Amino acid sequence: MNFLHWDMHAGPENVIRVTLDRQANVLLMDDSNFSSYRNGQSHRYFGGLAKRSPVSLVPPHGGHWHVVVDLGGYAGTVHAGVSIV
């Protein structure tokens, strides 16, 4: 499975902004769910299919978060950037 990954500390006072050069899945996960995602297991996330850029995500609580960008199994590449605003 190919994906782009960023990890960061953020909370509900932050907005995580993700810029994309094409349609892609943008997922925000905690440590446990990111581990499950990497292992192909059931996982929970905030976000989903992003058809427009930028995407803004707000973590529901403070902590360590993982932002993942993937193409959902489709061929191709995606370029993305992540910032906290």
Q: How confident is the model at residue 21 (pLDDT cuts 50, 70, 90)?
A: very high
Average pLDDT over residues 27-45: 98
Structure tokens that stand for 27 in this block: 């997922």
> Is 80 exceeded by the pLDDT of residue 17?
yes
Count of domains observed in the chain:
1
Mapped onto helix, strand or coil, the DSSP state of residue 37 is helix
Q: φ, ψ for residue 11 (rounded to 5)?
A: -145, -175
Judge contact between 78 and 27, C-beta under 8 A: no
pTM reported for the whole predicted model? 0.94
- Residue 12 above 80 pLDDT? yes
- How far apart are the C-alpha atoms of 85 and 3, rounded to whole Å? 23
Q: Which domain holds residue 31?
A: 4-84
